[in-house]
Amino acid sequence: MNNKRYVARSTAIAARVLGDETMVMSATNSTLFTLDEVATVIWESADGATPLEEIVANKICTQYDITPEVALKDAEGLVEQLAEHGLMLLSDKPIAQSAAATGGTK
């Protein structure tokens, strides 16, 4: 089973890093969300080319005192929530920037 999951920020959003948090607003319904410090790391690393597991291993587990299993479970919960609101795209294949711009395939 291929567990690789690719994540990309949607372009139909407004976003800005504010200190150690990130403000993200859905352009479709103007709902505002904030991401905490750890979620911001995942958000900024969601380039569509790096698998989520790799982001968690290289950017989270090296910086925070947490096991890879727990961190990955948390990260998957986060990206699924973001995807539900149209803020992030998820795929089992790498996501091109043009796909993120048009909504892509989830």
Partner 1 sequence: MSVLVAEMAAKALQMNIPLSVQLDLTYRCNERCIHCYLDHHDHGEMTTAEIKDLLDQMADAGVFYLTISGGEILMRRDFFEILEYARLRTFCIKLKTNGILIRKKEADRIKALGVESVQISIYSHVPEVHDAITKLPGSLAQSIEAIRRLRAHGIHVIMANVLMVQNVHDYAGVRALAAELGAQFIMDPTITPMMDGDRSILNLNVDEAALREVFRNESLVGGNIEEFCAPPLSPGEDEMDQLPCSAGHTACYVSPYGDVYPCVQFPLPSGNVRRMKFVDIWRDSPQLNEVRSIKLRDMPTCSKCTHGGTCTRCPGLAYLEGNMRGPSYQDCEKSYARTGIPSENLKARKASSQPYHSLRLVQIQGLQPAAQALPFSVTESSVVNA
List interacting residues with partner 1 (CB under 8 A): 11-19, 21, 23, 25, 27-28, 30, 32-34
Q: How far is the CB of 33 from partner 1 (least distance, A)?
A: 8
Decide whether 51 or 86 has the Cβ nearer to partner 1.
86
Q: How far is the CB of 29 from partner 1 (least distance, A)?
A: 9
Q: How far is the CB of 94 from partner 1 (least distance, A)?
A: 20
In three-state form (DSSP H/G/I as H, E/B as E, the rest C), the secondary structure along the chain is CCCCCEEEECCCEEEEEECCEEEEEECCCCCEEEECHHHHHHHHHCEEEEEHHHHHHHHHCCCCCCCHHHHHHHHHHHHHHHHHCCCEEEECCCCCHHHHHHCCCC
